[in-house]
Structure 1
Amino acid sequence: MPYAVTNPATGEVVKSYDTITDEALQAAIAKATEAHRGWSKNSTVAERAALVRRVAELHTERIDELADIIVREMGKPREQAVGEVEFSAAIYEYYADNAESLLADEEIELLAGEGSALIRRSSLGPLLGIMPWNFPYYQVARFAGPNLIIGNTILLKHAEQCPESAAAIERIFLDAGFPEGAYVNIYASHAQIETVIADPRVQGVSLTGSERAGAKVAEIAGRYLKKVVLELGGSDPFILLSTDDLDATVEAAVMARVDNNGQACNAAKRFIVADELYEPFLEKFTAAMNAVEEGDPAKDGTALGPLSSAKAADTLQEQVDRAVAQGATLHSGGTRSDNYYSATILTDVKPGSDAFHEEFFGPVAQVFKVADEDAAVELANDTPFGLGSYVFTTDREQALRVADKIEAGMVFVNVVGADGAELPFGGIKRSGSGRELGRFGADEFVNKKMIRLG
């Protein structure tokens, strides 16, 4: 698939980019390797932190240019595009602020013998990042930020539909003062990715994407004994057990489903509602979803832009049609115009149907009624995914009890859209392995060297 900017709002191919040649790819790997041997080994944590801080500043200085790029590339509503750039800057700033503490020596208390022991963290070498189109800057920030602080160097393969943002990010790292090779953008083909992972100079790979892509990359990484971090799909439950403000809860539910045009791995996708709240919730949720207006993503105030591509719209339409054919009720929405797909609600999704275990990557919500807390947890966990989850209740003890029982990497209680640079992000089951962001994100691609002093 060629690298090209295809505006999903218009279908226009704005610009195409050549895939990297095999010779240029080898030169990129060599450049990243040399930067690690030289710059990484000879720079201090404080010096690297200062460069990452400048990356944050340049994101802020170029915010309008960067936002406009991803509106064109993948149809993100512009206000949300601006928000993504701001969040990305905050991530780089977090790692700059906390670089010294994240990489500080860690003392180990000896059980026997004299002397002392410690863990000293150091870089591994060049890493490959394979990033998706749905958050073009944020996904890169949470991978590149901590790893450049550590001293690892980055080979970044972005999604084929995000070549312009990929180039803009590389330009920022160079303009911030990073040396050639510290961060290298590669327009690589899928076949060339195996070459990169297989190369003995490359020490690890991080992928955010589909289950299929994750399985393929993990298979290759395993063959060559490379460390891998995977952030894959999700079908996150939104459990409503009690509320003292149903309108606010519904507002949160809508935001959790349609943000980024419904194209987020950790979006709420399955709404699991206690029996006594089901009818009033569904009534208000339906009205609120029907009120979400589609529009030009380049215009301020647009709530729902197009899906990222014609292929994405085709896939979502096929999933909804198949769900209805297998017994689900199209409760509201379900209309498509070109790459736009309306905010949609499915009810009566049957256990055993495809929809019951699939991820819907678009503004489609499934709503379920359950008898009690135990039934809610059972349904929430009846999924191959385990990324995030949301619990709404007025009972704190219940919230903690349910959070303990949910099989997921993240639980948010009475809040949505609360991701933070300091909060670890990642999942279990088919949602992947490893963590990004926070101190755990800075501990994935690190040599935690034990030093024992007698």
Structure 2
Amino acid sequence: MSLLDTHTWHGKILRSGWRESAGGTADAVAPATGEVLGSYGVASPDDVAEAARDAAAAQVEWAARRPEERAAVLRTAARLWEEHAAEVEGWIVKETGAIPPKAALETHIAAEECHEAAALPSYPAGDVLATNDDRWSFARRRPVGVVGVIAPFNFPLILSIRAVAPALALGNAVLLKPDPRTAVSGGIALARVFEEAGLPEGLLAVLPGDAAVGSALVEAPEVQVIAFTGSTAAGRAVGEACARHLKRAHLELGGNNALIVLEGADLDLAASAGAFGSFLHQGQICMTAGRHIVHESLYDAYVEALSGKARNLPVGDPATEQVALGPIIDATQLARIEKIVAASVEAGATVAAGGTTDGPFYSPTVLTDVTPEQPAWTDEIFGPVAPVLRFSTVDEAVALANDCQYGLSVGVLGPVGEAMGVADRLHSGKVHINEQTVMDEANAPFGGVKDSGNGSRIGGAQANIESFTETQWLTMRPTIAPYPF
């Protein structure tokens, strides 16, 4: 049976069932070829308001369900991701321009997220507190009610499911706004899986749309928490709006991540890690290695090895060719990559490899003669560009890594003892020793500091429970307490 048969969702949104949307329709388009893959419904602010009301009503009964019932839905969803992996991966390859291994990673983690979330309904729900009165005193966790999830295009399935699954498991309803460029991979696929898994109607709405839809999601009075993944600029706007409405915002934002190559690092392994960190999914990952900080004793050889890999990585349509890099998501993002590289070259950087465009494809690129003032070093490029800068002392490497507005992920390659000392001095939400910067597991807390977000708000039982529940104080006495009034 086809999970994503277009007849089910053609021209529709999921809002208490599949229905026509007030915002019209839009096409799902393959960035590599421009092929129209299907037509989905576009939500309007009115759709969001109605979905929020429906979700709030459905959530009450869902939260009252036995933990084993909610867990069963999540376990079934995990099995469905596994059973329909090939079909979903086909959509991810075409709609996002991903190579098949990246698409397979998304469906694998989607299943893992649901497996992990299935344990949350029976997780301990509070504490017994000490009290000075003749009573029992408890702090217990309760669902927040309705959660809004706003997800981006680059890893559309993972970056949606990692909030949707735990929020549902903990007794909440969810309104999901996927990026319109990946509405099927990041939205409709989740709608269909949870529909088939037996999730009651109204608990999950999928509402693709523009910024006005995102604003309506934040402003809906029923929505208590927003889980947002995207650019720092957009995240600031979401955070400000949430603050005005006294709502919690969990923000996972941009990154300009450093890969530090220490003296004594294995050159071939380091260059391989650097290529993977910078070029996977065309560099369109918040954790992409955007700054290569290399010890002066290895610098020339590292640049040569990394450039060799860049020149030999095939680029093309991953739906029809065996390639390492696919297309950039759209013309706007491609133009931004070109502009940053051109400005950096004008400021003195040298293109050691790549730097060329062919239709929607941008070649893997290595930049040398980079300075910390050039835009290729200071900006999040979100493209397959690896700027390389040398250092002479560990203090200098740490200073270069920390001298950045972002603080999402850092990789440190080299002797473990020295790398451990470096790790303790880094200002980053994640630090990986002898691994590159792109890493994610369903049971691990995920988040950044500085302009990369407001901490680890997702991933792992503790972070998920804190994100998608409220703490309520509950007391109980055997009889009504006497009062002096």
Query: SS of 2:250's equivalent?
Result: strand
Number of the residue aligned with 2:215: 194
> Where in structure 2 are the equivalents of 1:142-291 lying within 5 Å?
142-165=162-185, 166-243=187-264, 245-291=266-312
Q: What is the DSSP-based 3-state SS (H/G/I as helix, E as strand, rest coil) of the residue aligned with 1:450?
A: strand
**Please, which of 46, 49, 66 is the counterpart of residue 26 of structure 1?**
49
Instruction: After superposition, give the CA deviation of every residue in 1:276-303 in whole Å (9 maximum; x if it has no partner).
Output: 1212222211111221111221147421
Query: What do residues 322-380 of structure 1 show as CA deviations (whole Å, max 9, x unaligned)?
Result: 11112222121101101101110112222333333100101100111001111000000
Residue deviations 1:400-431 (CA, integer Å, cap 9, x gap)? 22112111100011123542111111001111
Letter in structure 2 aligned against 1:447? E
| Residue from 72, 76, 80 that aligns with 1:50 | 72
CA contact under 8 A between 1:79 and 1:300: conserved in structure 2?
no
User: Which residue does 1:399 correspond to in 2?
Assistant: 419
**TM-score w.r.t. structure 1 length?**
0.94
Does the alignment pair 1:382 with 2:394? no
Over aligned residues, Cα RMSD in angstroms? 2.0
Greater length-normalized contact order (CA 8 Å, ≥ 6 residues apart): 1
1:295 aligns with 2:316: yes
Q: Distance in 1 between matches of 2:218 and 2:348?
A: 44
SS of structure 2 residue aligned to 1:162: helix
The Cα of 1:66 is off from its aligned counterpart by 0.6
Is the Cα contact below 8 Å between 1:129 and 1:157 reproduced in 2?
A: yes
Moved more, 422-431 or 398-407: 398-407
* Counterparts of 2:475 and 2:403, CA distance in 1: 46
Q: Which residue of 2 aligns with 1:131?
A: 151
Q: What residue in structure 2 maps to residue 349 of structure 1?
A: 370
Q: Take 2:378 and 2:265, find their aligned partners in 1: how far apart are those partners?
A: 31
What secondary structure is seen at the aligned counterpart in 2 of 1:350?
coil
| Most deviating of 2-11 and 127-136 | 2-11
Q: Which residue of 2 aligns with 1:39?
A: 62
Aligned-residue offset at 1:222: 1.2
Contact 2:371/2:389, CA 8 A, preserved across alignment: no
Do residues 410 (structure 1) and 430 (structure 2) align?
yes
Shift in CA distance, 62/381, structure 1 to aligned 2, threshold 3 Å: same
Unaligned runs of 5+ in 1: none
Where 2:335 maps in the other structure, the secondary structure is helix
**1:79–1:301: 8 Å Cα contact kept in structure 2?**
no
Task: Name the SS of the counterpart of 1:148 in structure 2.
Answer: helix
Per-residue deviation at 1:441? 3.0
Distance in 1 (alpha carbons) for counterparts of 2:132 and 2:410: 44
Which deviates more, 117-126 or 370-379? 117-126
TM superposition score normalised by structure 2:
0.88
Task: Please report how far the alpha carbon of residue 221 of structure 1 lies from its aligned counterpart in structure 2 after TM superposition.
Answer: 1.0
Unmatched runs of 5 consecutive residues or more in structure 2: 1-22, 478-485
Q: Is 2:393 the counterpart of 1:372? A: yes
CA–CA separation in structure 1 for the residues paired with 2:108 and 2:366: 31
Residue of structure 2 equivalent to 1:60? 82
* Deviation for aligned residue 1:188: 3.1
- Does structure 2 retain, via aligned residues, the 8 Å contact 1:5–1:72? no
CA distance in 2, matches of 1:385, 1:338: 31
Quick one: structure 1 residues 378 and 22, their matched pair in 2 at CA, closer, same or farther if it must change by over 3 Å? closer
- Give the aligned residue type for 1:390: G
Given the superposition, is the C-alpha separation of residues 280 and 112 from structure 1 closer, same or farther in structure 2, using an over 3 Å criterion? farther
Q: Which moves more between the two structures, 430-439 or 366-375? A: 430-439
Query: What secondary structure does 1:276 align onto?
Result: coil
* Cα distance per residue 1:176-214 (max 9 Å; x no partner): 010111111012331232222122111111111111211
Compare CA radii of gyration and give the structure with the larger one.
Answer: 2
* Partner-residue secondary structure (3-state), 1:79: helix
Query: What is the match of residue 360 of structure 2?
Result: 339
The alignment covers a number of residue pairs equal to 450
Cα drift, residue 17 of structure 1? 3.2
Cα distance change on mapping 1:375 and 1:453 into 2, 3 Å: farther
Q: Structure 2: how far apart are the matches of 1:162 and 1:253? A: 27
Report the CA distance shift for 1:302/1:178 in structure 2 as closer, same or farther (over 3 A).
Answer: same
The alpha-carbon distance between structure 1 residues 118 and 260, as it changes in their structure 2 partners (threshold 3 A), is farther
In the superposition, relative to structure 1, how do residues 104 and 242 fare at CA in structure 2: closer, same or farther (>3 Å)? farther
Asked whether the equivalents of residues 74 and 309 of structure 1 are also in contact (C-alpha less than 8 Å), the reply is no
> For residues 142 and 66 of structure 1, what CA distance do their matches in structure 2 show?
17
Identity of aligned residues (%): 34
1:450 equivalenced with 2:458 (yes/no): no
Residues 9, 296 of structure 1: 8 Å contact kept: yes
Alpha-carbon deviation of 1:90?
1.0
Which moved further from structure 2: 132-141 or 195-204? 195-204
Q: Distance in 2 between matches of 1:359 and 1:135?
A: 17
In structure 1, C-alpha distance between the alignment counterparts of 2:431 and 2:134, rounded to whole Å: 43
